[in-house]
Structure formats: structure tokens, C-alpha cells
Chain A
Amino acid sequence: MAAATNQARIGRIGLYAFLVTTCLFFSIPLLVVISTSFKPLSEVRDFSVFQLPAQMTAAAWGKAWQSACTGTECAGLHIAFWNSVRIVIPSVIISVLVGSLNGYALSHWRVRGADTLMLALILGAFIPYQVIIFPLVKIFSTVGIFGSVACIIAVHVLFGLPVMTLLFRNFYVGIPNELVKAARVDGAGFWRIFLFIILPLSVNMLIVAAILQTTGIWNDYLFGLIFAGHNNTPMTVELMELATTSTGVVEYNVSTAAALLTALPPLLLYFFSGRYFVRGITAGAVKG
């Protein structure tokens, strides 16, 4: 008996040892980047990212924000930060609202061809972007908005469409149709029911979807690179520019600070909204 409990205790210890080691391994990349970002330039020559800073300074953060060179311009990432904000906010609002509207129409109303549309959306969620990117460039050039903020917003809404629609459709299937029917008896139409019954019932799902989209769009690189145009490049694109622009000594302290600045918004969102974040990624995993 004693031997059995002993064995169990050793097992428990092994369990925790494994978990702690894994967590350490998982946090190393972040810790390493944080520590490097606080080093002064003198410690960046002939150093390893694993060495802790001897002197702490926030100078690299200031430079990454204000004056680091990205390509030929040397104004740091602050312009790109605001570009990203300008892109993310409308893209998220539009794609979430369109998704919930579609989900509602597909779950509570009889629409001919609904099954076909659902299948098209499911498959659409898995199509590699590379297959459609060049035709999209042509389409947006023809319309005349290629390389503008409107263009990059349209692209994000477009690629968010399948996942957002499916997310809300799955959620709304759980809302009893009787609610909608009762409202119709009272004389409410499609839009009124959506605005005054369905939307208020889906606050949680709206938050989940908004977090999912905010993270995804903030972290996007490919679409920003191709569709945003030179005056609206988002932060991820500028970060790559910054990290690959070198004039003599590579200032890793500035690059790491810039990477952290770029990562900060989604990280904060993750740490402060964990529950919603997890729901979003598991439900929206169709996005891959």
C-alpha cells in the first residue's frame, strides 16, 4: 500500500516536472526577446540573446517606435502602428457584422440554395490564398481601389467571410426558431428581428468573433504586403522591413523591441480575454 502511494507521488512529481519544463521551453522565446530589447547598443555587439542585460535601458523601445529605419525611411513603427489600427477596426466591425447577418439569414430563414452556399463557404475556408490572390489583384485594380485602405479592408472582410458566417450560423442554430416566429407574429420583419432580438442575444459571440478577427487581421502579413499599398503598410510588414534593414551593426535590441511592439496588442488581448480567445480559436479553427 505504502509502495503504491509512493509510486503515485513520484508520478505526480514527474507530471509537474514535465509541465514546468515544457512551460519554460514555451516561454523562452518571449523571455529572450524581452531581455534583448532592454539591452543597450554596447551589449548587442558580440552577444547572445540568452545573456541577460547588464544595464537595462528602454532606449531600443524608443528607437523602434520613433526612429528606426524601415527600408529608406527612418521613422520607426509608430506610423505603421496607426496604419494597422486604421485597417483592423473597420475590417473587424464589418466582417463580424456581415458574418452575424449571414449566419442569421442561414439559420432562421428559408433561403433557396442555402445548403449549396454553406458548402461553398466551408470549402472557401480551406482554399489556399495563393490560388486567388492574383485574380483579386486584377479585380481590385479594375475597380480602381488597389493599394488603398479600402482595398485591404475589403480583402480582410472577404477572407473572413466564410469563417465568420459559419461561426455565427453554428451559434444561431442553437437559438430557438420560435423566438423569430413569435416576433413575426407581432409584425417584425427580417431586419427588425435581427437588430432587436438576434444581435442582443449574441453579445458573447460578437466578442468572441471580434477577438478572433482582431488577432488574425493584426497578425496578417501577406495581405498587408500585397494589398495595402505603400502609404498604409501594417505593422507586421514594417517589422519585417525593420528587421531586414541593416546599416552596419545589426541592432538586435531595436529589432526585438519592434517585434514586441508588434506582438503587444494581440498578446494583451489574449491575456485579458483568455476565455473568449480560446473559444474563438477552437470554434474558428476552420481558418487554419
Chain B
Amino acid sequence: MDDAVAREPRALTGTLAERSTPRRAASPRVREVAARLALVPTVLVMAVCFYGSIVWTVYISMTRSSMLPEYGFAGLFQYNRLFNSLSWQTTFDNMFIFGFLDVVGTLGVGILLAVVVDRHVRFESLFRTILLYPLALSFIVTGLAWQWILSPTIGIEHFVRGLGFPHFVFDWITQPETSIYTLVFAGVWHQSGFIMVVILAGLRGIDPEIWRATRVDGIPVWRAYVSVILPMLRPLIVTCIVLIVIAVVKSYDLVVAMTGGGPGFSSDLPAKFVIDYVFQRANIGEASAAAVIMLGSVIAIMGPYLHFEMVRKR
């Protein structure tokens, strides 16, 4: 199991970085029409459904479209309107609040767990199974479960009051100032097991010589992790951060199931904002502008990352 796991994260970063693999250069492949024909549907789908759709959305975000698409160019009209609306400002800020806390929390818990499991604990596979199972659950089930746990009427607050603390208050999920933070609990719970698995695979790939050297030098184990081992895994950690951030930008189901974006729009996130504006408020123009901002956020993260990875691989 371990080598299977250990191989994959490299395959993952590999996919992102390499475009043409040098491995095949020695044995040139043959051309055949069938190979090209087999790829035609994929090329068409990517061109029309993915990139064609992006172009359309970007253009619509620069028109005055509301219920139906209109094609008269209107510059940044929708973006102006978007950033002047209170609900988008909250939503946009929420993306950064949730994103920052989710990255810090998930990465922190994930790395800590990976280091602990790396210390050759017994029952390792049992621990791993428990720590990773949330990932098999949908965000809908995750969100509902956490909504119930955090709800003041049936969750922790009610339970602790029953234990004899009648004035205990834990109502973050119903308060507009704090509801966004409750998403972090569920986000960290859902994803840190995954980060643990990826980091653990990296830790297992560390050259034993390095460990021997730290022991010879008398460096305490925790110090070796902090100053030697984890810095060696920096590329892998960066990959993890990118993956968490992408997940944050895409977060839709979790918000729907846990807070519904509320109270009001206090815990709304862009992914939900866009869907609401398209399908409930029938405001395609503003929704498209918000979607383009989402795309921009992903590009802002992915661009430097891909560049960094390609430079590193050379």
C-alpha cells in the first residue's frame, strides 16, 4: 500500500509540470489516423464546452445581460455593479477569510498528523482509515452533519447546557458575524486526512541517510522535522496549498448544506453566489462577472504555480 501511495503525489505534480515527456524521445511513436480520430471528440468537447463556454461567459460579463443574454458591449458595467453590491463584497471577503483559515487549518492538521503517523505508530492503517473516511462523504452529508452538531437547538450548545451549564452559548452558526468560521470546521475535517496522506507519502520518500545524519548530530526529532525534513518537502506542501485553495474557490455544496449562505448572505461564497444569480435571480450578466472573478482567482493561483513547477522540473 505504501509504495502505491508514495508514487502518486509525484505523478500528480508530474502531470502539472511536464508537457512532453523526454522518456519517449528515444523511441519515436508512430503516426496513425486512428489515434487522431480517437481524440477528435475530446478536442471538440474541450474546445466547445470548456474553452468556448469560457469565452462566452467572459464576453457576457461585459454586456448588460440580465434575464437573457444581450450582446451589446458594455465594458466593466457588471463588474462595477458587482463590487458596489454589499452581498458580493461580503461574499468576496468570505472567500479570503474562509480560504486563509481553511488552508492554515487543513495544512496544519494534515502535516501534524502525517508527522505523528510517520513516527512508526502501531495500527497505522487503522488510524489512516479513520482519518481519511470524511473524504468519502459528500459535502452535502458533511455539511448537514456539521450543521446539526453546531446548531444551538440540537447540537453542542444544547448538550453542554444539559450537563449543568444553563448559560453556555455556542451559536456561531446562527450569528452573521461568525457563521463563515463554522465552514472552516467542516472544511478542515473533510480535507486534512487527504493532506496527511500526501505529506506522509513525501515523508516516506525522505532518504534515510538524512535521518541518520540528524541523529549523528544529536538534533532532536521535532527539530529535525521543522528545520530539515519539512523544508525538503516544500514543493509538495505548495502543491497541497494550491489544491486546498482550488477546493475553496469551488466550494458550493458545503455552504448550501451547512449554512445556506446565511444568516442573510453572511457566509456566502462566490461559487454559490454565481449559481444563485444565474438560476434564482436570473441575472446572467452579474453572475458571469462573478464567475470570471472566480476564474481569475484560480488563474492567479495556478499561473505562478505551474510556472514554478515547470522551472523546477528543468
Contact = CB atoms under 8 A, between A and B. Distances in A.
A32 interface: yes
Contacts of A56: none
Nearest to B137: A263
A65 interface: no
Contacts, number: 291
Can you list the 8 inter-chain pairs with the closest CB atoms, starting with the nearest? A219-B138, A190-B34, A109-B35, A135-B53, A270-B136, A48-B159, A132-B53, A130-B274
B311 interface: no
B117 A29 contact: no
Given A19-B121, A131-B295, A169-B15, 9 more contacts: A122-B306, A123-B302, A134-B57, A161-B46, A170-B14, A177-B24, A281-B197, A283-B8, A288-B243
Interface stretch (B73-81, B98-106, B139-147, B206-214): B139-147
A71 B184 CA distance: 29
A111 B45 contact: no
A212 B154 CA distance: 34
A108 interface: yes
Interface residues of A, number: 103
Given A29-B149, A134-B278, A282-B198, A126 B302 contact: yes
A256 B71 CA distance: 47
Contacts of A184: 30
Nearest to B186: A29
A285 B12 contact: yes
20 contacts: A29-B149, A49-B159, A105-B36, A111-B31, A111-B39, A122-B306, A130-B275, A131-B291, A162-B46, A173-B24, A180-B29, A184-B30, A190-B34, A191-B34, A219-B140, A221-B138, A226-B279, A263-B136, A267-B133, A270-B132
B178 to A, nearest CB: 20
A60 B131 CA distance: 28
Contacts of B159: 48-51
Nearest to B109: A22
Contacts of B180: none
Q: Interface size class for chain B? A: 35 or more
A274 B131 contact: no
Given A98-B42, A243-B144, A128 B249 contact: yes
Nearest to B273: A130
Contacts of B20: 114-115
Given A26-B189, A112-B36, A222-B252, A158 B45 contact: yes
Contact of A222 (B51, B155, B253): B253
Contact of B50 (A36, A127, A236): A127
Interface in B241-280: 243, 246-247, 249-250, 252-253, 256-257, 270-271, 274-275, 278-279
A30 B223 CA distance: 36
Nearest to A47: B154
Given A22-B113, A101-B38, A221 B4 contact: no
A266 B138 contact: yes
Given A124-B50, A128-B250, A275-B4, A177 B198 contact: no
- Counting chain A CB atoms within 10 Å of each CB, the highest count among B133, B139, B287, B302 belongs to B133
Interface in B1-48: 1, 4-5, 8-9, 11-12, 14-16, 19-21, 23-24, 27-32, 34-36, 38-39, 41-43, 45-46, 48
A191 B38 CA distance: 9
A239 B140 contact: yes
Interface in A7-61: 15-16, 18-19, 22-23, 26-30, 32-33, 36, 47-51
Interface string A273-288: 0110111011101101
Contacts of B88: none
**Chain A binding surface, main DSSP class:** helix
A218 interface: yes
A81 interface: no
A121 interface: yes
Interface string B54-81: 1011000000000000000000000000
Contact of B156 (A50, A178, A191): A50
Contacts of A239: 140-141, 144
B295 A128 contact: yes
B136 A48 contact: no
A253 to B, nearest CB: 11
Contact of A132 (B54, B119, B284): B54
A202 B38 CA distance: 18
Contacts of B249: 128
Given A170-B11, A281-B135, A23 B130 contact: yes
A189 B33 CA distance: 10
Nearest to A176: B27
Contacts of A277: 136
A120 B16 contact: no
Contacts of A279: 4-5, 8
Contacts of A26: 130-131, 133-134, 189, 193
B165 interface: no
Contacts of B86: none
A169 B1 CA distance: 22
B294 interface: yes
